[in-house]
Structure 1
Amino acid sequence: MPFAYYEQLSREQQRIYRMSDAVTALRVREPTTLRPQVEAVRQALASGERAPLERATAKLGNALCERLDVAPVLVEVLEVRPSSEEGELHGLYTWEPGRRPRLQVWMRTAKQARVVAFRTYLRTFLHELCHHLDFQLLELSHSFHTDGFFQRESSLFHQLVPGPAPRGPKKPPPGDPGA
């Protein structure tokens, strides 16, 4: 079932939304060999130091992009999340013509400036990386938040972080052309 905003999209955007929704997983070559980079991110985050965290996150991002055969993204780690009445901004992906794509992720909460939990940080990073992969790997002209998008994010997380096996992929809604 598409998210509520689906009805407000143009026909072309709805087609891209459905294409995005149909891709529920991304497979990383030899993901277990990336666990040292994941651990480096965990340790750097625990230190509370921005620069080492940015270096560790960029190294992980470069390795993931290399394993997925896409151009790397510029990673920037920022301190305290910006906030407004709508909430806190956790991460941001931007890509302007003629410029290198940029992924920004914030390492501290807005209200108390506490370092965020490791899983939250990593999922935020992977979320923003999925926007990059939508353009670079899936070659979509828009990057929508679809069920498939969130499942791709989760598939990357579960390949990088040991734990219980992820649940199976969602079945497309009846009548979905991706079925």
Structure 2
Amino acid sequence: MTFAYFDNLSHAQQRVYRMSDSVHALRLREPRTLEPLVTALREALATGRVEDTEQATARLSDALCERLGVVRTRLEVLEVRPSSSTGELHGMYTLERGQRPLIQLWMRTAKHARVVAFRTYLRTLLHELCHHLDFLLLELPSSFHTEGFFQRESSLFHQLVPRPARQRLSGAAKGVAENTPDISPGRRRRGG
């Protein structure tokens, strides 16, 4: 299945979209060993302090990049999310020639300036990191929001925050956890 904007893409972009859509998971080496970093991030976010949250986020992001064999990003945590009539900006990935890639995350809601929920914040980090991985790990020339993209984001999330056993079994029964293409460090996808 493709999203509605697929028809507006060039043939070359559609090929990249399909390549992205075909990779459903990213596998981390020993994800349980990252649990202290995930816990530290949860605790830092709960303080509501930008500096603490930025440091904890950077440590987790750096560890994920190291595990996946890609260059680390710069990371910036900002206060209140920018918003418009179409919604709030949760995060942004910027890739500029000659500079280390940048991930920016906002930690407070636009309407009430409340600290966002941990799971939402972590998913936003992983979402922006998936854009980074599209370019450097999968070696795609563009990073599109595809079903595969969102599945990769979820695969990382569930390795860092495992689901209860009952939920894992129901997902496997639907074929979600089994027989899906994935990329592990050392198994790079080449554009072609």
Q: Aligning the two structures, in what range does the TM-score lie when normalised by the shorter sequence?
A: over 0.9
For residues 22 and 125 of structure 2, what CA distance do their matches in structure 1 show? 22
Identity of counterpart residues, as a percentage?
A: 67
Q: Deviation of residue 73 (structure 1)?
A: 0.6
TM-score, length of structure 1 as denominator length: 0.93
Check if 1:94 corresponds to 2:94: yes
Q: Residues 92 and 105 of structure 1 are in contact (CA less than 8 Å); yes or no, is this contact kept in structure 2?
A: yes
* Secondary structure of the corresponding residue to residue 111 of structure 1: coil
Q: Deviation of residue 170 (structure 1)?
A: 9.5
Aligned to 1:151: 151
Give the direction of change, closer, same or farther, for the CA distance of 1:32–1:170 in structure 2 (3 Å limit): closer
For residues 160 and 152 of structure 2, what CA distance do their matches in structure 1 show? 13
Q: Deviation of residue 171 (structure 1)?
A: 8.8
Q: Deviation of residue 162 (structure 1)?
A: 2.4
Give the direction of change, closer, same or farther, for the CA distance of 1:63–1:105 in structure 2 (3 Å limit): same
For residues 40 and 161 of structure 2, what CA distance do their matches in structure 1 show? 13
Give the direction of change, closer, same or farther, for the CA distance of 1:161–1:31 in structure 2 (3 Å limit): same
For residues 163 and 7 of structure 1, what CA distance do their matches in structure 2 show? 35
For residues 162 and 146 of structure 2, what CA distance do their matches in structure 1 show? 25
TM-score, length of structure 2 as denominator length: 0.87
Check if 1:44 corresponds to 2:31: no
Aligned to 1:107: 107
Aligned to 1:117: 117
Q: How many residues align?
A: 172
For residues 78 and 39 of structure 2, what CA distance do their matches in structure 1 show? 20
For residues 107 and 99 of structure 2, what CA distance do their matches in structure 1 show? 24
Q: Point out where structure 1 has 5 or more consecutive residues left out of the alignment.
A: 173-179
Q: Point out where structure 2 has 5 or more consecutive residues left out of the alignment.
A: 181-192
* Secondary structure of the corresponding residue to residue 46 of structure 1: helix
Aligned to 2:161: 161
CA distances 1:100-148 after superposition (whole Å, capped 9, x unpaired): 1000110000010000000000000100000000001000000000000
Check if 1:130 corresponds to 2:130: yes
CA distances 1:55-88 after superposition (whole Å, capped 9, x unpaired): 0000000000000000001111100000011110
